[in-house]
Amino acid sequence: MLTIIGLGNPGKTYEKTRHNAGFILLDGIMEGRFIEELKFHQTGLDNIKSFFGTRRKFKKTSGPFKSIAGELSGKRVLFVKPTTYMNESGRAFVSLKTRGIIKDISEVLVVVDDVDFDLGTIKLRQSGSAGGHNGLKSIINHLGTNKFLRLRIGVGPRPNGSEMVDYVLSAFRPEEYEIFEKSLHTAAKVVEAWIKGGFAGAQNVL
């Protein structure tokens, strides 16, 4: 199954922060704001709730992640948000592999914020170092490889060293969020293209 994992920190405190760009994109996709063709797999009760205007929700599992399943162009997709803090994101990967959900790393796309890219920039990479990102570092450590596809959403410019934590855990200013929102639409197009046509298809968007 194709698996898209958005990185972020759980809890309301971090909901709108730069470090939660991965969560924010997946939430927008789940809410139907970005990929119109995507159909979510819901129970009868879920459908009733949606009819009455209740938002879809990522469902908690017994593992360290929440997920929601969908389908696009005949392909099954699982959207995943780790329930650990960012620096333990790799635990979700281990659980997904143990459960047999992730069988081939080529079927995984990780969505992550990146302070090395200016706000509004989107980059797609098939491999690479963590670049100081604790979420990617955790995944690499748990998987034992850096060869997995990641969609990087720019939230920079990178601040000076001692200011890094405060910066990534701060919320976007209103004028910044307008730029960020536009980048989310582009990122969602990349996600949609990847689901339909793999890495080659996703590259054509950028």
- Residue of 114, 122, 103, 105 lying closest to 181 (CA atoms): 122
Report how far residue 114's alpha carbon sits from residue 128's, in angstroms, rounded to the nearest whole number. Answer: 13
pTM for the model: 0.92
pLDDT digits (tens, 9 = 90+) for 173-182: 999 999 999 9
* Other C-beta atoms lying within 10 Å of the C-beta of residue 101: 19
Please give the average per-residue pLDDT across 186-206, as a whole number: 97
Q: Pick the catalytic residue from 19, 41, 133, 185.
A: 19
pLDDT digits (tens, 9 = 90+) for 5-60: 999 999 999 999 999 999 999 999 999 999 989 998 755 445 444 544 446 789 98
pLDDT, averaged across the chain? 92
Query: What pLDDT shows up at residue 55?
Result: 60
Is it true that domain 2-203 has CATH number 3.40.50.10950?
Answer: no
Query: What pLDDT shows up at residue 46?
Result: 54
Query: What pLDDT shows up at residue 42?
Result: 59
Please give the average per-residue pLDDT across 130-159, as a whole number: 95
CA dihedral 120, 125, 129, 134 (to 10 degrees): 50
- 133 in active site: no
Tally of CA atoms within 13 A in the half-sphere of 89 that contains its CB: 26
